[in-house]
Chain A
Amino acid sequence: MDVAATGESRLRALFEAGVAISSELSLDAVLQRLVEVAAELTGARYAALGVIDPSGSELERFLTHGIDALTHAAIGALPRGRGILGALIHDAKPLRLHDLSDDPRSVGFPPHHPPMRTFLGVPILLRGVAYGNLYLTEKNLGEDFTPEDEELVSLLASQAAVAIENARLYEASTRWSRQLQSLNEIGNALATETDLERLLNLIVGHLRELLGARFVAVALPAGEDELRFAAAAGEGTDDLVGVTMPHAASKSGGVIERRRSERVDSVIDDPEVNQGVARRIAARTGLYVPLVAHDRVIGVLEVHDKEGPAGARFTDDDLRLAETFASRAAVAVDLSQRVARDALRRVVAAQELERRRLARELHDETGQALTSILLGLKPLESGTASEAVAELRELVVTALQDVRRLAVELRPTVLDDFGLVPALERLIESFGEQTGLNVTFQSTIGEERLPSEVETALFRLVQESLTNVVKHSHASTVSVVLTRKGDAVAVVVEDDGTGFDPGETGDGVGLLGMRERLALLDGRLDIESTGAGTGTTLIAEVPWP
C-alpha cells in the first residue's frame, strides 16, 4: 500500500471514529470503538484504554482489544495502574518503548498474560486534565511504533477525552438535578417541623441519605466552651447523642470559629479533630459544615465516611451539596430554636404573673383577713376563755407570719414596687438571718430601674444561687455584687465554700435553668470554681437595655 493510500484509509478510519462518538450514547461503546480503531490504524495486535477515576489515583475502567475472554479470565483482576501504566498516569506524556521489559519502571506481567514487547502509550488529555491513557502493544512484524502512530493515537485519545468528559458532565448534571429535587423535598419537610429534637433527627437522616454517608451528626453549642451532639444518624450513633466535647479541642469548634466548611480525607492525621470522638464512631474521613443562620453559627454538621467500596472518599461536590443542605437546615433549626425560646419566655412570664397574683392575693386578702381576726380576738383576751383565746391568737399570728413569708417567696412586692436593688437587699438580709451565713450585698448601678424581665431574671438567679450555696457549698461567707460591666449588667455571687468542678457537674445544680433564663435575655452565665475548697464565683451578665 502506498503512502497516499495509507493516509487516506487512516483519515477514513478517523472520520468513522468521529461519527461513532457523535452517534453512540454508551461511553463504553464509544471507548471500545476507539480502542479498535487505534489498533487497526497502527497495526497493533493488542490495545487497551484505561480511564482514571475522578480522584486521579487509579483506573475505573479498562477496555481491551486483542485479548479473548478466556485469556481475560485467566489473567484475573484488571490492572490497578502500577508499573508502566502507573508511570503514564502520574506523568501524562506519550511513551514509546522498543521492549517493555527493558524499562526499569516495568513490574512484569501477571500469569497467563500474553507476551508484549513494543509499546505505545498516549495520555487522554483535555484542557490539561488527564482522563486516562490509550495503550497499544505488539505492532505488526515486531516493528516499533512510529511518531506517526503516536500522532494518530493522540488524536484518537483527544476524542476519547471529549467523550469521557461529556459523559461525566452529563452524569454530574443528572446527579445534581436529582440532588436539587431531593433538597427541595427536604427543605419542605424541614420547614414544617418546629420541634427541635425531631427536626435535628430529620436533618441528620436526610443528609446521610443524600450524601451516602455512614454517619451524620449535628453538634450544637452547650454553654460557652463546649459542643454537644444533639442528634445522630447511622452506625455507632447509639451512645453519641448527649456527648460533649471542648469547643477549643475539636474540628467542629474550629469550623465554628472559621465559619468555613472543611473536608478531611484522613481523620486520624488531622491534629484538630477530637480523636476521642472520632474513635468512638470509628470515623476515617469527614465533612464539617457550619450551620449559619442570620450571620450567626448555630451548630455544625459532622459527616463521616462515604458508603461504597473501601477507600471511598467524599468529593468537593459532596461538600458543596452538604453546604447547600446546611444553609437550609440552619434556617429551620434557627426558627425552631426561636419558637422554643418564645415558648419558654411565655411560660416564664406566665409563671411570674401567676406568682405575682398569688402573692398579692395572700398578702392583701388572706393576710388582711388574719389581721382582722387578730384584732377581733384582742378584746376577748380578758374574758373567761382567755387561755383558749390566747392559743387561738398564737395560731393566727403564726399563720399570718407564714402567709407573709409565702407571699414574699412567691414574688416580693418590693421587686415590682421599688426594683431589683431594694429587693435584693431584703432577700439578702432575710437570707443571712435565716441561715446564719455572713452575706454581703453591694450595688453600683444606682437608682436606675431595669426592664421587669431583667430584674426578675437576676432576682431569681440570686435566689437560686443562694439556695445552691446552702445546699452544696458549706460556705460561711457569701458576697453578692450587682454592677455594670461594659454594655451589660452583671451579678456576681461569690462564696468561700468547697467549690465544685463545673466540668464534672455539667449543668446540674440548677445551672441549666439559670442559663436558659439568661439566654432568653441574650445573657450568659460563667462559673469559676475548681472544687479544691477555693469557693465558687458565679457571674451572670445580661445586656444593658
Chain B
Amino acid sequence: MTYAVVWSENGGAPRTGSIELAIGSLRLAGHSGRELAYDDVAEVSIDRRRALRLAGRPTLVIESRTGESFRVASLDGAGTLHELAERLQSARHPT
C-alpha cells in the first residue's frame, strides 16, 4: 500500500513523495529515499501540534531504535493518516 505524503527526517526540510508499507519494512520515497525495517521502529504516534505540522497537516511520527525521527503527513485525503498509522502498527505486529 502506497500513500502520497510530505515527510521529513530528523526535523529536516520537508520532501514530497510516498510511503510504502512493504513486506518487512517501510519505504519513504521522493527525490531521495529511506527504508526502515519494522523491527527497527521503536514508536509510532500522531502529532497534531501546529508548530510541528507538515503541509499544515498533522503528522505520523515514527521513531527508530537508533534515535532517528521521521514525520509523515498524508496528502491522500481525509482519514488516511489514521489508516496509515493502523496499517503500520499491523505491519509491525502481524497477527
> Residues on A close to B: CB < 8 A?
394, 397-398, 401-402, 405-406, 409-410, 433-437, 467-468, 470-472, 474
Contact = CB atoms under 8 A, between A and B. Distances in A.
Contacts of A436: 6, 14, 16
B4 interface: yes
Interface stretch (B37-45, B52-60, B63-71, B82-90): B52-60
Nearest to A410: B78
Contact of B56 (A401, A467, A471, A474): A401
B4 A470 contact: yes
A409 B30 contact: no
Contacts of A402: 48, 58
Most buried by A among B14, B30, B75: B75
A398 B17 CA distance: 25
A405 B56 contact: yes
A184 B85 CA distance: 57
B42 to A, nearest CB: 26
A398 B57 CA distance: 9
Contacts of A472: 18
Interface in B8-37: 14, 16-18, 29-31
A470 B18 contact: yes
Nearest to A475: B16
Given A435-B6, A435-B16, A471-B18, A406 B49 contact: no
B50 interface: yes
Interface of B: 2-6, 14, 16-18, 29-31, 48-50, 55-58, 75-78
A156 B55 CA distance: 98
Contacts of A405: 56-57
Nearest to B76: A467
The 10 closest A-B pairs by CB, nearest first: A434-B55, A470-B4, A471-B18, A435-B16, A471-B4, A467-B4, A409-B78, A398-B50, A406-B78, A470-B16
A436 B4 CA distance: 13
A398 B16 CA distance: 23
Given A398-B48, A401-B56, A471 B31 contact: no
A472 B57 CA distance: 21
A401 B75 CA distance: 15
Given A401-B50, A470-B75, A471-B18, A434 B58 contact: no
Given A467-B76, A470-B5, A471-B4, A398 B49 contact: yes
Contact of B2 (A435, A437, A471): A471
Given A406-B78, A435-B6, A470 B50 contact: no
Contacts of B16: 435-437, 470
A357 B16 CA distance: 31
Contact of A434 (B2, B75, B76): B75
Most buried by A among B5, B16, B30, B55: B16
Contacts of A468: 4
A401 B6 CA distance: 18
13 contacts: A397-B50, A402-B48, A405-B57, A410-B78, A434-B56, A434-B57, A435-B6, A436-B6, A437-B16, A467-B4, A468-B4, A471-B18, A474-B29
Contact of B55 (A398, A410, A435, A471): A435
Contacts of B3: 471
B77 A409 contact: yes
A467 B75 contact: yes
B24 to A, nearest CB: 21
B55 to A, nearest CB: 4
Most buried by B among A402, A433, A435, A436: A435
Nearest to A394: B50
Nearest to B30: A474
Contacts of B5: 470
A470 B15 CA distance: 10
A415 to B, nearest CB: 15
Nearest to A406: B78
A474 to B, nearest CB: 6
Given A394-B50, A470-B5, A470-B17, A435 B56 contact: no
A474 B77 contact: no
A397 B56 CA distance: 12
A471 B49 contact: no
A411 to B, nearest CB: 10
B92 to A, nearest CB: 22
A436 B31 CA distance: 12
A472 B17 CA distance: 7
B45 to A, nearest CB: 16
A401 B50 CA distance: 9
B75 A435 contact: yes
Nearest to B5: A470
B27 to A, nearest CB: 12
Contacts of A437: 16
A437 B31 CA distance: 12
